[in-house]
């Protein structure tokens, strides 16, 4: 468990205090994948780096599994960092070392001398990330996705309980992003590792995170389970992120629907209800007709969901509404 | 053919040339060794104490910078003469190979230190951050990350410094250091023996070429591209 108690951070540049993180209260449960989303400068990178104190907090306390990280001395901090893995947007691998030596580095730094022990660990790690044939290559000979896999193997070398991901997929193409995210989800599941990741893409949150916090101007403006925040965004910043992900322009959408007759609804299905034949049943029973204006059926991590914008025409409108609301579906009337 | 060769190079005493070449190589090797021993830590210190670095320390950086700049702004020929009492103090003589090495080192080490500082600045900050995140001590950051990553740059710096030292050794002839430069000045210039001049210049040229190509090869090898 990672706890932030009134943690804040102020930078001093050019004689002026610039707040990077407002006093923040946050709890990240053990074993969950927690996402922090925000635009650049929103403070998410600062928040992430406060966890392993690559950034020193200006105030407040950070507890990791009950241990006050903010109170650690230099030696304690180094031992703590050896239990926290971290991966980076630009991978930050040592170009002068082979893949195997990069992965072995945290082990050597932690004082493990036994060659056979290091070799065995490195081989197992490279096997896990699917790079066992690349051990003797140098990072410059690998693709971006492969480099990030080396980064992941390196971060896992000391068997940490926490993995921090700093925009880990932002430099990768969509396909590679998907495979790296899949690997992270796998690691989270199998090693019961707590993952904290920061990103500016809602899609990354949707694919791997259990819970999410949305950051804006150095503060968390909304947080909760991803299904909740993604399907029912409340803060304007969150709404913008969700729309960006769906590549939809809301004003354009409303213009398009202006000449559509009838009542316009947005239905949100979640979990098992997603695949039930609800619309057909309701239409048959109440005599309303419907047309689907836009929609998306997808998954949020392991939860299937659907979100449809419909126009309802004719029939027993009131009965249809009651029937829909009675089902396990969230109904919003847009017009 | 042989007659033509010996009449063209009539003044050249090949034994003298051989001894002078040996002196030049000894001066170069000795001074390069001590330049690296002194200049590398100095360069690392300059880097670490520099602005926005691991051990940012304004006054220390300013002081080191000042010393380095002063030594670098002295023309080597002046340094040679100014250094004589100090040289005698540590080597017992201001003459020959031993007498030349202290001024060569003092002349080249600050230059080399600056090049090392620049090479270290080229190392991606992200790599330092990643190493910190692994829980490395400062010593580990320097020896396991910074120096290996800067290795190609440092080798290039050694190459440039070695070539600079070749030209310094030639000047060191002025204070009786011996070597190819000394030969060129005493015979080629002062006794108008152009053939001696040509031979020494060609030998110095070959030496510089060899140093440069070995250095380039090592840089390519350690760049791991």
Instruction: Return the CATH number at B68.
Output: 1.10.3720.10
**In this model, does residue A3 exceed pLDDT 90?**
yes
How far B212 CA lies from chain A's nearest CA (Å)? 22
CB contact under 8 Å between B130 and A88, yes or no, is yes
From the CB of residue A50, how many other CB atoms can be counted at a distance below 10 Å?
25
CB contact under 8 Å between B140 and A109, yes or no, is yes
Evaluate whether A82 touches B140 at the Cβ level (below 8 Å): no
Contacts of A54 in chain B (CB under 8 A): 129, 132-133
How far B163 CA lies from chain A's nearest CA (Å)? 26
The residue range of the domain holding B199 is 13-223
**In this model, does residue B62 exceed pLDDT 90?**
yes
**In this model, does residue A303 exceed pLDDT 90?**
no
pLDDT value of residue A250: 60
Task: Give the one of B132, B134, B223 whose C-beta lies nearest to A105's C-beta.
Answer: B134
- A137-195 pLDDT, tens digit each: 999 999 999 999 999 999 999 999 999 999 999 999 999 999 999 999 999 999 999 99
Mean pLDDT of A122-131: 95
Give all strands (DSSP E) within chain A, no chain letters: 2-13, 16-28, 33-37, 59-64, 67-68, 84-87, 162-166, 194-199, 211-216, 219-225, 263-270, 289-300, 303-313, 329-333
How far B126 CA lies from chain A's nearest CA (Å)? 5
CB contact under 8 Å between B131 and A90, yes or no, is no
**What CA–CA distance (Å, rounded) separates B123 from B131?**
12
pLDDT value of residue B38: 96
**What CA–CA distance (Å, rounded) separates A116 from A42?**
45
Least confident of A215-224, B13-22, B32-41, B203-212: B13-22
Contacts of B222 in chain A (CB under 8 A): 96
**B175 domain residue, yes or no:** yes
Token pair 């490279």: residue: A126
Number of domains in chain B: 1
- B95-141 pLDDT, tens digit each: 888 888 999 999 999 999 999 999 999 999 999 999 999 999 999 99
Q: What are phi and psi of B118, to 5 degrees?
A: -65, -45
Contacts of B129 in chain A (CB under 8 A): 54, 88, 92
Q: Which helix (H) or strand (E) holds A104?
A: helix A99-109
CB contact under 8 Å between A109 and B131, yes or no, is yes
Mean pLDDT of A206-221: 94
b/e sequence A79-95, b meaning 16+ C-beta within 10 Å: ebbbbbbbbbbbbbbbb
- For the domain spanning A256-333, the CATH number is 3.30.70.260
Which is it for the CA torsion B113, B114, B117, B118, positive or negative?
Answer: negative
User: In the structure, what pLDDT confidence band is assigned to residue A28 with cuts at 50, 70 and 90?
Assistant: very high
Q: How many CA atoms, within 13 angstroms, populate the side-chain half-sphere of residue B132?
A: 14
Least confident of A13-17, B85-89, B102-106: A13-17
Hey, what CATH topology would domain A2-244 get? Answer: Rossmann fold (3.40.50)
**B190 domain residue, yes or no:** yes
* Substitution target from A73, A94, A99, A110 for chain B, most B beta carbons within 10 A: A94
Q: Which residue has the higher pLDDT, B11 or A220?
A: A220
**B173 domain residue, yes or no:** yes
From the CB of residue B95, how many other CB atoms can be counted at a distance below 10 Å?
15
Token pair 């003589």: residue: B93
CB contact under 8 Å between A78 and B135, yes or no, is yes
**B6 domain residue, yes or no:** no
Which is it for the CA torsion A174, A180, A182, A185, positive or negative?
Answer: negative
Contacts of B148 in chain A (CB under 8 A): 94, 96-97
**What CA–CA distance (Å, rounded) separates A188 from A180?**
12
Identify the closest residue of chain B to A49 by CA–CA distance.
Answer: B133
Residues of chain A with CATH 3.40.50.300: 2-244
Partners of A61 in the beta sheet?
A: A5
- B168-180 pLDDT, tens digit each: 988 887 777 788 8
**In this model, does residue B144 exceed pLDDT 80?**
yes
Tell me whether A171 touches chain B (CB under 8 Å): no
Evaluate whether A335 touches A310 at the Cβ level (below 8 Å): no
**What CA–CA distance (Å, rounded) separates B58 from B69?**
16
Contacts of B144 in chain A (CB under 8 A): 105, 108-109
Rounded percentage of chain A residues whose pLDDT exceeds 70: 98
DSSP state of B94: S
Paired sense of beta strands A162-166 and A2-13, if any: unpaired
User: In the structure, what pLDDT confidence band is assigned to residue B151 with cuts at 50, 70 and 90?
Assistant: very high
Instruction: Identify residues of B whose CB sits under 8 angstroms from chain A CBs.
Output: 124, 126-127, 129-137, 140, 144-145, 148-149, 151, 222-225
Paired sense of beta strands A211-216 and A33-37, if any: parallel
This complex has an ipTM of 0.85
Paired sense of beta strands A33-37 and A194-199, if any: parallel
**In this model, does residue A84 exceed pLDDT 80?**
yes
CB contact under 8 Å between A106 and B145, yes or no, is no
Task: Give the one of A54, A95, A97 whose C-beta lies nearest to B129's C-beta.
Answer: A54
Partners of A195 in the beta sheet?
A: A33, A163
């Amino acid at each position: 468990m990672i706890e932030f108690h009134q943690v804040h951070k102020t930078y001093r540049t050019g004689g002026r205090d610039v707040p990077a993180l407002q006093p923040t209260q946050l709890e990240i449960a053990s074993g969950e994948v927690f996402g922090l989303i925000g635009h650049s400068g929103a403070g998410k990178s600062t928040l992430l780096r406060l966890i392993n104190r690559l950034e020193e907090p200006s105030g407040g306390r950070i507890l990791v599994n009950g241990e006050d990280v903010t109170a650690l001395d230099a030696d304690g901090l180094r031992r703590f960092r050896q239990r926290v893995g971290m991966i980076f947007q630009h991978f930050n691998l040592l170009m002068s070392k082979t893949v195997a030596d990069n992965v072995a580095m945290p082990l050597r730094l932690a004082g493990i001398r036994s060659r056979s022990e290091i070799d065995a660990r490195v081989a197992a790690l490279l096997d896990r990330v699917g790079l066992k044939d690349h051990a003797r290559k140098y990072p410059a000979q690998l693709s971006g996705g492969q480099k990030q896999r080396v980064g992941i193997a390196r971060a896992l070398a000391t068997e940490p309980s926490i993995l921090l991901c700093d925009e880990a997929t932002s430099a990768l193409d969509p396909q590679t992003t998907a495979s790296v995210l899949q690997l992270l989800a796998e690691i989270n599941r199998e090693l019961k590792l707590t993952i904290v990741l920061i990103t500016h893409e809602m899609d990354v949150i949707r694919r791997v995170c259990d819970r999410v916090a949305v950051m804006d101007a150095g503060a968390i403006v909304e947080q909760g389970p991803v299904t909740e925040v993604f399907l029912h965004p409340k803060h304007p910043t969150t709404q913008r992120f969700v729309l960006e992900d769906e590549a939809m322009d809301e004003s354009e959408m409303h213009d398009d629907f202006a000449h559509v007759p009838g009542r316009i609804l947005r239905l949100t299905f979640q979990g098992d209800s997603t695949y039930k034949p609800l619309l057909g049943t309701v239409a048959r029973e109440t005599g309303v007709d419907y047309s689907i204006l836009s929609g998306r059926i997808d998954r949020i991590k392991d939860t299937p969901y659907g979100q449809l914008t419909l126009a309802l025409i004719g029939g027993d409108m009131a009965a249809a509404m009651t029937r829909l609301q009675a089902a396990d579906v969230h109904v919003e009337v847009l017009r | 053919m042989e007659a033509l060769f010996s009449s063209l190079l009539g003044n050249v005493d090949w034994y003298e040339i051989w001894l002078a070449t040996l002196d030049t190589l000894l001066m170069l090797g000795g001074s390069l060794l001590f330049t690296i021993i002194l200049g590398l830590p100095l360069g690392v210190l300059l880097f670490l104490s520099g602005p926005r670095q691991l051990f940012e320390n304004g006054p220390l950086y300013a002081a080191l910078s000042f010393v380095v700049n002063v030594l670098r702004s002295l023309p080597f020929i002046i340094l040679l003469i100014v250094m004589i009492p100090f040289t005698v103090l540590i080597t017992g003589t201001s003459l020959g190979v031993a007498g030349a090495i202290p001024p060569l080192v003092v002349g080249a080490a600050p230059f080399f230190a600056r090049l090392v500082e620049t090479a270290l600045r080229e190392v991606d900050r992200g790599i330092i951050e990643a190493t910190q995140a692994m829980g490395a001590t400062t010593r580990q950051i320097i020896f396991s990350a910074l120096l290996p990553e800067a290795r190609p740059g440092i080798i290039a710096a050694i190459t440039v410094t070695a070539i600079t030292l070749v030209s310094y050794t030639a000047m060191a002839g002025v204070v009786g250091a011996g070597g190819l430069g000394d030969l060129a000045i005493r015979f080629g210039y002062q006794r108008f023996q152009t053939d001696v001049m040509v031979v020494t210049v060609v030998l110095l040229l070959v030496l510089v070429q060899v140093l440069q190509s070995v250095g380039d090869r090592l840089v390519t090898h350690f760049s791991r591209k």
